[in-house]
Amino acid sequence: MPGRSDWAEAHLLAFNPSHKWDGLKGKVLIVAVGFSQRITNKNTRALAQIENLTLSQKIPTFIPMFKRLLLPLFILVTTAAAAQTFGGNPPSIKWQQVNTPVARVIFSQGMDSVAQRVAQTIARMNRMIQPTIGFKQRQVNIVLQNQTTISNAYVGLAPFRSEFYLTAGQNNFDVGSLPWPEQLAIHEFRHVQQYNNFNVGVSRGLSIIFGEGGQALANALSVPDWFFEGDAVYNETLVSKQGRGRLPFFFNGYRGLWAAGKDYSFMKLRNGSYLDYTPNHYPLGYMMVAYGREKYGNTFWKDVTHDAAAFSPFFYPLQGAIKKHAGVNYTEFRNAALTHFKTAFKADAKDDRPNAKSRHFIADQEYPAYINDSTLIYLKSTYTHIPQFIIKTGSGERAIAVQGITTDNYFSYRNGKVIYAGYRPDLRWGYRNYNELIVLDINTGKEHRITRKTKYFSPAFSADGKRIAAVQVAPSGRSELHMLSEDGKLLSVVPNNVGLFYTYPKFYGDDKLLSAVRNFTGEMSLALIDIKTGATKYLLPFSFEPIAFPQLQGDVVYFSKTSGLNDRLFAFDIGTNKLFEVKGIPQNAIGYYQPAISQSKLAWTSFTALGYRLSEVDRANVQLSNIGNSQVFTALPDMNISALRKDSAANILASVKPDSLPITKYSKLHGLFNFHSIFPSLDDPNYSLQLVGNNVLNTFQSQLTFNYNRDEGYKQIGYDAAYGAFFPYLIAGADYAFDRRGFYKGNSIYYNETSIHGGLQVPFNLSASKHSTALSVSTSLYYSTNNFQQPFRAMFKDSHYTYLSSTISFSNQGQQARQNINPHFAQNISVNYKTSISSVSATQLLTAGTFYFPGLSANHSFVVSGAYQHKGENRGIGYSNDFPFSHGYTAESLDDMNKFSASYHFPIAYPDAGFGNLLYLMRLRGNFFYDQTHARAANFFTDGSALKANFRTAGAALFFDTKWFNEASISFGVRYSHLLDRDIFGGSGHNRFELVLPVAIF
């Protein structure tokens, strides 16, 4: 009868080699929670960069052909999900709450007035707008995050909650100028009402079975994202005097397409393109929703979405519901909606560039600044290259440097130096990040950071370059103007006694600053501010028309301002207090933004379907047309949507009362488990159900799992949890498997296995400047016991063992342009070491690394990877096999294995085509690869001889980058592997075909 070590060795050799012995242990499911999240504003390059701060390349799991073809539609939901930040706030934050029947607003100390305003706005608005979406009510938790420089928010299911990122952005055209917490409240709470009322019919059935994740899945499949966001934008436009539905800038994307005569298919408008600019779903949704309200009444969408969420009809539910309630089919409805708004902007000038209709996206040219009368510097972004600072003289362009990761493309220039605010995350806390000032010398191309751990925006040099003015946004939301030395030292803080929000400050002489400002209601003006006293002189009447991008030339300030159906250029003479409209420039372009002035030139950018276009004229041709304030400051246009004026909820934001609501302490342990969803997982041979929970502050995640293994027939229950409120994550769990099966001398042997584990993990975010870098260090202690069932207890002793598993992982990547398959330079390295510490002796070392390099063309990528695994001679424990074996072979865990792999990736075509609003193909890409694994194993054969073998493969793969149901991005492919050596562990022949699929179900 074998002893304990012998039995452990019998495990290793007799069981299915694909079984992972420490399977789920220590691998807590950090769920991409909040899928189908509804987000205020996600259409910026900066946010795309920031959300990808760690290397997360397209490395799917490879699945044999026809295996797991049952991957269901559930996979579509999470592809659009933005994961919440786990454990993102330091434990020093003390949380409080304003608790109302409608919403619990959770906030850190010092944010009382903001929390009160959010809660009061929601309470005032709720009843007024319920009739247009439904009366179902469920309290939502709203967490106010004030440590971040990101301007955003979301509402999500699984779990049901919302987060407001409270730092407002600088671009007043982008989302508008309303006070940021109120803007978030009137937009995001509409999403709360949507989710509350879309839990009907089939959606309700899935929520009963699968919890909130089931509803999220059903809602994503039945109600398109354009409605979610369009309806929320309509609400912000209805209940305020502003809202994006009244801002010409919001419609620029479609205006650009119409001006160029681009008549894209609806599927292309919905899904986007790697070749052509397409607007996101926000303006499309607003146009559809606003037209529906205007044409068919305020309850039209309530009826349509109720039927759609209930899957009535089951196929194409929203399209069928529109036909039922509008009396026209979906195509007719959307064409009529777009035509309504196209007519409103019929005065826009046509794109005069040759072949504008057929040309693809060229580049964005932004924030021009004059070096001298004949030379400009600006930021250029294309789909093949990351943003670069460009110097242009005549028709010649010269790139001088790449811009770092930013939250805003804005930069300022003076005397050979560029200054901008670069994004930098906190080392550990995900909700805390910074904007640090970076200075670039255009002569050398070198840059250096001059501030640390600051929240600066829109920096500008003084005339002599010795001082810097920048907007600083405090965690309280208070806006300040900071005066800095050229090396970044704080000189003074300009007093802000009237609670203004500053944007784009500029020096006016030595003792004053000029800034576009917002007041406490969201109205805007231009202001002169005394640097020492903060005394403020307003140059223009306050209005809800956004103002941005002021530039001074002597006593004259040029700036962009909304006027009617366009954003135009104006000038104000500070000496004479006269306002002018800039004439003598091409008329009716789509917006006039970011003016730059030299002694003899005027430049600006306008929006086109081919990118932001830089235009330039001689100042001799520029005319300043004197206008009175009454001629230019008017109400914002409603784009012929009269329903905005007729609704009883119109402009209710102005009637929100400053009543005080009770404030109480919010416990960090409140609702700690909060199980919200059941996720099925089909990962043959394992079939499982996972009950998942997250608390509102997202500091505790837990998962209760039942798993069935088809190969062995065993059943397993387990619980895993992670707590992220401390500097290291605390990870723990336990598993119990019964009816495990092994083989000994040709007979099946059954036993039960119990295991527990606990450990620590510390994630470090080292990202800075132009690179996203992450380091994670973790270690976990595992204890397992094996208890044999009758009648095997008489043959074998029960066994137990304890081991440590420690991992270090590092990733680093540069920025990535839209068409780039991989970043040009990136590294991903991991080291895992397992060693027993009692009962038996066993060690295993696994290292792996992947390195990305540029290819022969901008969008090509050359990838080299390697791995090494070594097991100790005395293997008393069968550790899991995570070695990346050569493609095509049946994988086995052997004593020593090393692998080298090289692959070359390249785009093939950009079809931009689909069918039936079901499947849309954006790109075909391929790769050629070569893998070589060398393996050795002692005492492998029955005669005791060792195994030494090579496993070499050469092959190619074809990948399809697709969108499903006009929302979910999924990449899959087919891979051919030609085996250059014999597959000694299974299979026959040298040619293998595999289907490459993503493996996540939810």
Identify whether the C-beta of residue 424 lies closer than 8 Å to the C-beta of residue 767.
yes
**Identical fold, 95-351+640-665 and 404-542:** no
Identify whether the C-beta of residue 246 lies closer than 8 Å to the C-beta of residue 522.
no
Predicted pLDDT of residue 76:
40
Predicted pLDDT of residue 278:
98
Burial of 382 (0-12, 13-18, 19+ CB in 10 A): middle
Helix (H) or strand (E) holding 258: helix 252-259
Identify whether the C-beta of residue 800 lies closer than 8 Å to the C-beta of residue 756.
no
Architecture of domain 95-351+640-665: Orthogonal Bundle (1.10)
**Per-domain residue ranges for the chain?**
95-351+640-665, 404-542
- The distance in angstroms from the start CA to the end CA of the chain is 46
Residue 129 in tokens:
């707008």
Residues with pLDDT less than 50, the chain? 1-36, 42-83, 999-1002
> For residues 409 and 66, what is the distance between their CA atoms, to the nearest angstrom?
47
Per-residue CA distances from 359 to 257, 349, 859, 894, 912 (Å)? 12, 18, 19, 55, 14
Report the 10 Å Cβ neighbour count for 243: 28
Residue 271 in tokens:
């899904």
Helix (H) or strand (E) holding 377: strand 375-381
What Rg, from alpha-carbon coordinates, does the chain have? 30
Q: What is the pLDDT of residues 515-552, one digit of tens each?
A: 999 999 999 999 999 999 999 999 999 999 999 999 99
Q: Is cis: bond before 313, omega within 30 of 0?
A: yes
Architecture of domain 404-542: 6 Propeller (2.120)
Q: What is the pLDDT of residues 148-205, one digit of tens each?
A: 999 999 999 999 999 999 999 999 999 999 999 999 999 999 999 999 999 999 999 9
Report the 10 Å Cβ neighbour count for 419: 25
CA-wise closest residue to 533 among 476, 486, 492:
492
Identify whether the C-beta of residue 302 lies closer than 8 Å to the C-beta of residue 310.
no
> For residues 480 and 460, what is the distance between their CA atoms, to the nearest angstrom?
14
Q: Locate tokens 């370059």: which residue?
A: 465
> For residues 510 and 528, what is the distance between their CA atoms, to the nearest angstrom?
12
Q: Locate tokens 């944010």: which residue?
A: 111
Kindly report the pTM of this predicted structure: 0.92
> For residues 763 and 769, what is the distance between their CA atoms, to the nearest angstrom?
19
Predicted pLDDT of residue 744:
61
Predicted pLDDT of residue 895:
86
Predicted pLDDT of residue 769:
87
